[in-house]
Amino acid sequence: MKHILIVIALLATSSFGLDKISSLPKNQTKLLDTLITKLHLPADLSKKKRTELYDKFGTFLEKDWSVHWNSNTSLADSKLKNSKTQVIDLMIYNNERVTNITFIYFSTEKQLLIATKQYIETKSSSAMDSFHETEKSKDYTKESESDNYAYFEKKGFVSYNGYHVEEPVGLIIYESASLIDFN
C-alpha cells in the first residue's frame, strides 16, 4: 500500500510540471525581464500576464535568434526617459524572418499596445502563391494593389497580409496589433 501511495504522489507531482515562464531558457527569461523593466510594467506582474506578454514575441525566438531595440532611453538627450508612456521597438532576427514588435505602455490607462510586423523574404513565385491564396480567402479584404504590391485586411481584426514582388524575390509581411490590459 505504501508503494502505491508513493507512485500516486509522484504521478500527481509530475503531472503539474513547470509552467511555461518558469521553464524558459535563461536568455529568453532575461529578455522578458528586460522588457518588463524598461516598459515600467507593474512590478508584481502575475505569471499569467508574464506568459501573455511572452506569447507576443516568444514564437520568434527560434534557434539562432538575436534582438536589439530602441526605447525612450536610447538617445542620450532624450526628454522621454521618465514619460508616463514607455516605448520599446524590438527587432528579432532569426533564420526564417525578421520581426519588428513595438510595445507602447500607457501607464495611466494600464494598457500595453503591441504592434507586430513579420518580414519574410522568399522567391517571387512563393510570394505570388501566398498572395493568390489570401486573395481567394473570404477572411480577407483587398485594401490596395499595384503591379508590385498588394495588401489585405483580415475581417474583424487589426491584421494585414502584405505582398511585394520584384522578380526574382518576394516579400511577405504579416502585421497585427493587440492589447494587454493590466487593470
One pLDDT digit (tens) per residue for the chain, 183 residues? 554 544 444 444 444 456 778 888 899 999 999 999 999 998 889 999 999 999 999 999 988 999 999 999 898 888 898 899 999 999 999 999 999 999 999 999 999 999 999 999 999 999 999 999 999 999 999 999 999 999 999 999 999 999 999 999 999 999 999 999 998
Report d(CA 53, CA 49) in Å as an integer.
Answer: 6
Q: Which amino acid is at 112?
A: L
CA dist 135 and 140 (Å) reads 7
Q: Which three cell numbers stand for residue 154?
A: 483580415
Q: Rounded to an integer, what distance in angstroms lies between the CA atom of residue 130 and that of residue 122?
A: 11
Do 18 and 25 touch, CB atoms closer than 8 A?
no
Comparing C-alpha atoms, which of 64, 113, 50 is closest to residue 92? 64
